[in-house]
Amino acid sequence: MRVSVLGCGRWGTFHAWYAYRVGHEVTLWGRTGSEHLAELRATRRNEFLTLPEEIRLTDDLTEAIRTAEIVIISIHAQAFRSFLCGLCEHGQAEELAYRRVILCMKGLEIGTGKRLTTVVREELGPAIKPVVWVGPGHVQDFVRGIPNCMVLAGEDRETLRELVDVLGSPLIRFYYGEDLLGTEVGAAAKNVIGLAAGMLDGLSYASLKGALMARGTRELFRLVRSMGGDGETIYGLSHLGDYEATLFSPHSNNRRYGEAVVRGTAGAFHKIAEGVYTAEALMALSKQYHVDLPISETVYEIVAQGSDPSEQLTRLFLRATKSEKE
């Protein structure tokens, strides 16, 4: 099939590499002036992989969408709404209604807490029903041939089956996710738990990661259930299943960022970790749905409000005792 990947950062470039690997005709789009696109055009490489010559590189967004049967979008979650508005302004959005659209981002809209599929519906209308592709794994591992399991979630089972058939391989085993709400919230929120894990590493409290995993999943279970989703989704690949890659891996950007915040070296990062924005978005959801999110709130106070990590962790430990099932 003809696949166009929109976004040529680390993950977008990987998705193009992977789609070609499993037998598709691939176009990779980057915005005009993109340093990533310029590097790929000059060398066919980035710091993670080498693109085959057969993958077409372009900055022509209209052409990238028009020629595709499957459109994979992999851009910064906080730039997503403005990206969709741009599609509408330039008459490109209508073309998406006739394509399979896959979102490969893990984030919630800052300020509103809205899921990215909700942003699609608000900006492009109900005709476009995107699928989300999330789950564990790092580009560095995949390109070395190390397999993993991921999830494709959406509202239409027939579409999911079709995409699993054309994208699945021995490198990535896909599962169907039919709780789109829980999958999106869980995938985004695991980055916040990753920040917390990095903070524990920075404080030499790594032994608390087990408790972090247990209590982190519990608070997200409560949130998803209150939002109308299936709380059990939190224990699947989109959230708990992604903990190893996020809480323990040296490749995890969110874990490394959380550790850097504690050590006072976060300023050295090229960009803020996505979990920082998600922490703020979760605070909006916590207020909207009246759900207590103590771990997420602690992370938010540290990374967004500049609170002292040791003091915030102490406050978390001194909370009123409750049942483990609460």
| CA–CA distance, 319 with 322 (Å, rounded to integer) | 9
Other CB atoms within a 10 A radius of the CB of residue 197 amount to: 28
Please give the Cα distance from 281 to 113 (Å, whole number): 4
In the block, which residue shows the tokens 């022509």? 60
Distance CA 161, CA 159 (A): 5
Residue 325 annotated among the catalytic residues of the structure = no
Torsion angles phi and psi, residue 70, rounded to 5: -120, 130
∠ Cα 146 251 16 (to 5°): 60
Q: Which residues pair with 176 in a beta bridge?
A: 152
The answer to whether the beta carbons of residues 210 and 171 sit under 8 Å apart is no
Could you give the 3-state DSSP secondary structure of residue 103?
strand
Amino acid at 284: A
CA separation for the pair 267, 275 (Å, rounded): 16
The H or E element containing residue 4 is strand 2-6
The C-alpha angle with vertex 107 and arms to 148 and 194, in degrees rounded to 5, equals: 60
CB neighbours of 214 closer than 8 A, spacing ≥ 6?
Answer: none
* CA-based torsion, 289, 290, 291, 293: positive or negative: positive
What single letter denotes the amino acid at residue 188? Answer: A
158: helix, strand or coil: helix
Catalytic pick among 106, 114, 129, 190 = 190
Rounded CA separation 210/244 (Å): 11
**Other C-beta atoms lying within 10 Å of the C-beta of residue 274:** 23
Catalytic residues: 190
